[in-house]
């Protein structure tokens, strides 16, 4: 699993993955907070959706996407 981190720069922080810079450039702390908040909200929405749906719905959706040759 990759390790996410931050690398200080003159203008703010740069996002790193496994110690290597990632993305288009420098992120300020407020930009990072915004992105983290957005991702947390998206995760909360997906979690709530999964709790509302039954496991059978997910199994059917998964199997519907598979070809007959792949079903065993």
In a domain, 72, yes or no: no
Q: pTM of this prediction?
A: 0.40
Provide the pLDDT for residue 4.
74
Give percent above pLDDT 90 in the chain: 1
From start to end of the chain, where are the E strands? 4-8, 13-17, 20-27
Judged against a pLDDT cut of 60, whether residue 44 lies above it is answered with: yes
- Looking at the 3D structure of the chain, how many domains does it have? 1
Rounded Cα gap, residues 41 and 62, in angstroms: 25
In a domain, 43, yes or no: yes
The domain containing residue 58 runs over which residues? 4-65
In a domain, 70, yes or no: no
In a domain, 59, yes or no: yes
In a domain, 71, yes or no: no
Judged against a pLDDT cut of 70, whether residue 53 lies above it is answered with: yes
Bridging pattern class, strands 13-17 and 20-27: antiparallel
In a domain, 15, yes or no: yes
């Amino acid at each position: 699993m990759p390790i996410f981190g931050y690398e200080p720069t003159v203008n703010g922080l740069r996002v790193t993955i496994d110690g290597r810079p990632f993305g288009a450039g420098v992120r300020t702390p407020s930009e990072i907070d915004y992105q983290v908040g957005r991702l947390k909200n998206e995760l909360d929405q997906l979690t709530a959706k999964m709790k509302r749906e039954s496991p059978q719905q997910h199994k059917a959706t998964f199997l519907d996407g598979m070809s007959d040759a792949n079903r065993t």
